[in-house]
Amino acid sequence: MAYTKELLDQIGLGADRLEMHFVSSAMGREFAQLTSGMTERMRELGPSPLRERERDR
């Protein structure tokens, strides 16, 4: 994960776009919190720079 996050930073996509968590089927609340948090973060980060490039083409 640390390697991939660093790679995403070097590429210019940003390490914050990737997270990995271990959540069992019995951890519904944690799952909801993590996915909500990630969705919120994605909203703040905005579209991927790659997607914006595609749109410009």
Partner 1 sequence: MIIGEQKPLEEIKNLVTEYERILVLGCGTCVTVCFAGGEKEVGILASSLRMATRIDGQEKVFDEATVQRQCEWEFLDAVEEEIRSHDLVLSMACGIGVQAIVERFPEARVAPAINTTFLGLPEEHGLWTERCAACGECILHLTAGICPIARCAKSMLNGPCGGSQGGRCEIDPEVPCAWQLIYDRLKAQGRLDQMLEITPARDWSTGRDGGPRRLVREDLRIQSQDHE
- Amino acid in the structure at residue 32: A
Query: Quick one: DSSP state of residue 48?
Result: -
Query: Smallest gap, in angstroms, from Cβ of residue 49 to partner 1?
Result: 5
Task: Between 10 and 25, name the residue whose CB sits nearer to partner 1.
Answer: 10
CB of 52 vs partner 1, minimal distance in Å: 9
Q: Which two tokens stand for residue 24?
A: 């069992």
Residue reference for tokens 């973060």 = 41
Binding site for partner 1 (CB under 8 A): 7, 10-13, 49-50, 53
> Least CB distance from residue 16 to partner 1, whole Å?
15
**Which tokens sit at 22?**
């271990």
